[in-house]
Structure 1
């Protein structure tokens, strides 16, 4: 059997489950289908593989916030798996594929996910050191890594050291609460700026703020998140979102809308 026939047979075997299975897919299977369908110009399979990746690595903050529930990649590769070296290698493998297949619209979310790992994990990962990641890309990742980490204090948590609100009902108490949380935040993990304050964090940390200050703090935090997301491609030396969105639409079309978790 020739290599071409063997690859086509392998692709057909994988795609039976890929198209008809009612479960999440391991990222390795999605990448394998993407590479083979690109090589042999099987357009509908390529679009379907890209749609799976697009749900895991979206182009909007709203979709990023939903990705744990809408992603069709296996659960062990979801956002909360970032601490493990396996997850770091996974992200690097997808980055290498995205670069090799000219899919820059996947990269902002991929680079963000990669940079939530500790620098030690990243720099010691075998995939980082095997030569498959372009040196310029590695440079951009490291520059972006520090900008992403710095954004936690400089952008996400700036609501903690803003001027007191004129209509605050207890300025001394609210000022002390913000001061205390600001001091505590110095030892918080800083690699995940978008998730530095989650829904369940507000009451334990800032529940003693007056109602107005709490409401305004939440609004300012969400504004900071959106502003950070809008600059995410720039942080990593990528084209602006509007360019990437256009490329995504060309590559994926309506395929993403047809996918559901477990599809």
Structure 2
């Protein structure tokens, strides 16, 4: 390859360097030698890129060459290009849900499959994200309580950094139906990390504003404690003791982030109510508050209603089929 003293050292990505291939692509300082016919079959964007002749270099200039092949530059991160190409050229690298995938690889495949129009990978990536950020209240609550876990993503620690990455990626590719659950996870685990530049100013403001609604809904969800014991309770003394213990835990956890998590069920389950009548009354009141909150969750963040978001999901997933 033509070089100069100021040129960075280029690295061949061994797992994606096929000696019999004729197409060499560069992302940052990484080189990928891959089969153009396979890329063209998977991606309309690469098909057009390969079909069009490469532009000539200015007179007197030299084209970037490796092993007699012109090097085509991609304006993407080398890390994302690597996982994207692995998903294309290694069928076992990025499989359908529920097979586990690496979270950072998931985001890279999502972004580049959308950019380069690789529909089957785009749909596959969205399906993985659907399991993490559902449009169903029950599904999200099962995740929050640990009753179900969306595939063991090897690098996902369910921290705010992952949620912020999912927010950026989902917004970029137009997967708006994922956003209510993503915003919920960020807002309910708020920290000053929101202000460190990893979210836009608009998103920071959106999450900060939403916290008021979150606190109100959380407080309202605890209102079932005031209804107890039920008029027909058979063990009023024991139920009063359980309620008193629950209030004690609320005071103890007053500064904890759970206090801004209206869909959490920890208060309800920690009461340990001994009476079936009180349990059913509490559950009915508790669930009603959470269902009302879930119904208006998209509007809290300035998004379309759930019905519209679900229609959008259907349209995009069907168009990617």
TM-score bin, normalised by smaller chain? 0.7 to 0.9
Of structures 1 and 2, the one scoring higher in RCO (CA 8 A, sep 6+) is 1
- Deviation, structure 1 residue 171: 4.3
List aligned pairs for 1:61-80, cutoff 5 A: 61-67=137-143, 69=148, 71-72=150-151, 74=153, 77=156
Q: Which stretch of the first structure deviates more once superposed, 216-225 or 20-29?
A: 20-29
Shift in alpha-carbon separation, 1:213–1:192, aligned structure 2, 3 A: same
- Deviation, structure 1 residue 237: 2.1
Q: Alignment length, in residue pairs? A: 238
TM norm structure 2:
0.64
Aligned residue among 241, 246, 249 for 1:184: 249
Give a deviation string over 1:112-160, Cα, whole Å, max 9, x none.
111232x4xx3235xx432x53322221111112322332222x21110
Q: Unaligned 5+ residue runs, structure 2? A: 1-70
Over the residues paired in the alignment, what is the CA RMSD in angstroms? 3.1
The yes-or-no answer on 1:195 pairing with 2:264 is yes
Contact 1:24 1:72 in 2 (8 A): yes
Counterpart position of 1:227: 292
The yes-or-no answer on 1:37 pairing with 2:104 is no
More strand by share: 2
Contact 1:168 1:212 in 2 (8 A): yes
Residues in 2 aligned to 1:62 and 1:253: alpha-carbon distance in whole angstroms: 24
Shift in alpha-carbon separation, 1:2–1:60, aligned structure 2, 3 A: same
Shift in alpha-carbon separation, 1:212–1:254, aligned structure 2, 3 A: farther
Which secondary structure state, in structure 2, belongs to the residue aligned with residue 213 of structure 1? helix
More helix by share: 1
Counterpart position of 2:59: none
Residues in 1 aligned to 2:170 and 2:149: alpha-carbon distance in whole angstroms: 21
- Find the structure with the greater CA-based Rg: 2
Aligned residue among 266, 272, 277 for 1:206: 272
